[in-house]
Amino acid sequence: MTTIKATCPVCGDVDLTPSDVRLTVAESAGWATYTFRCSECHDNVEKPADEEVVALLSSAGVVIDRVPAEALEGHSGAAFTYDDVLDFALWLEKNDLVAGDFSPAPGA
C-alpha cells in the first residue's frame, strides 16, 4: 500500500494512506487543497496544493473531489426556506408542464 508523508504543524511528519487524504480541486478558480486528520494529535490539517502536489497525490491513489464552477458563482437574494420548497412542491402538483408534452394529440 502507498504511504503518503505529510507534515502536521503540531506533530511534524506523519504517514498517511490515500484514504486518509482528501484532495479538493477547483480548476475554474485556480486553487486546490488537501486535508487530512493527523494520526498523532487528531487535528484536521488543510494545506494548499499546487499542480505538482495534485499530480503526486492523485498518482498515489488519492481521489480528487472536483468543485464545479457553478458552486463558486456569486448568488444574491434570500436563501430558500423550507416553506419555499413546500410551495414549489404544491405548485408542481397542479402544474405539470411535462405531462402536456406526452398527452395524445387531438384526434389521435
Domain boundaries, the chain: 1-69
Between 49-58, 68-77, 78-87, 92-101, the lowest mean confidence (pLDDT) is in: 92-101
Measured between alpha carbons, how far is residue 14 from residues 2, 26, 44, 47 in Å? 13, 26, 13, 14
Does position 99 have pLDDT exceeding 70, yes or no? no
Task: Say whether 4 sits in a helix, a strand or coil.
Answer: strand
Say what the pLDDT of residue 86 is.
Answer: 95
pLDDT given for residue 98 in this prediction: 66
**Predicted confidence band of residue 95 (pLDDT cuts 50, 70, 90):** confident
Of 2, 51, 46, residue with least CA distance to 25: 51
28: left (phi over 0), alpha (psi -120 to 50) or beta: alpha
